Amino acid sequence: ETGVTQTPRHLVMGMTNKKSLKCEQHLGHNAMYWYKQSAKKPLELMFVYSLEERVENNSVPSRFSPECPNSSHLFLHLHTLQPEDSALYLCASSREGHPTQETQYFGPGTRLLVL
């Protein structure tokens, strides 16, 4: 275990559903990230939160909406998704500071299937 947990681990949803992914870190980090990992593609950085403020939004469609209520929790709210959004969604956290100290600790991911 890396100290980063994600729920649910698996999710199947229809295109009209609304669901949320949850991430929690117990490492005392102050930066959190959402990544999308599709089959045979590199990890894609979606959002970065530093000190609870969004500092990066990597051209992600508005059907994905992040929320960071505090430094330990990160949510990804999903609505009206498309089948191509099916992927593994990974959460990570790190300690802001010197770049070589910003090792990101990843959660186990949520495997999402959109029907």
Partner 1 sequence: KNQVEQSPQSLIILEGKNCTLQCNYTVSPFSNLRWYKQDTGRGPVSLTIMTFSENTKSNGRYTATLDADTKQSSLHITASQLSDSASYICVVIRGFGGSYIPTFGRGTSLIVHP
Which residues of the shown chain bind partner 1 in the complex (CB under 8 A)?
Answer: 2, 4, 40-45, 55-56, 90-92, 99-100, 102-109
Q: Which residues of 19-32 are buried (b: 16+ CB within 10 A; e: fewer)?
A: bebbbbbeeebbbb
Q: Least distance (Å) from partner 1 to the CB of residue 90?
A: 5
Minimum CB distance to partner 1 smaller for 24 or for 44:
44
Q: Least distance (Å) from partner 1 to the CB of residue 85?
A: 19
Could you give the CA distance from residue 112 to residue 8 in angstroms, rounded to a whole number? 9
Minimum CB distance to partner 1 smaller for 80 or for 106:
106
99 Ramachandran zone, left/alpha/beta (phi>0; psi -120 to 50) = alpha
Q: Least distance (Å) from partner 1 to the CB of residue 16?
A: 28
Q: Least distance (Å) from partner 1 to the CB of residue 107?
A: 5
Q: What is the DSSP string of 21-57?
A: EEEEE-S--SEEEEEEE-TTS--EEEEEEETTEEEEE
Minimum CB distance to partner 1 smaller for 2 or for 20:
2
Minimum CB distance to partner 1 smaller for 42 or for 83:
42
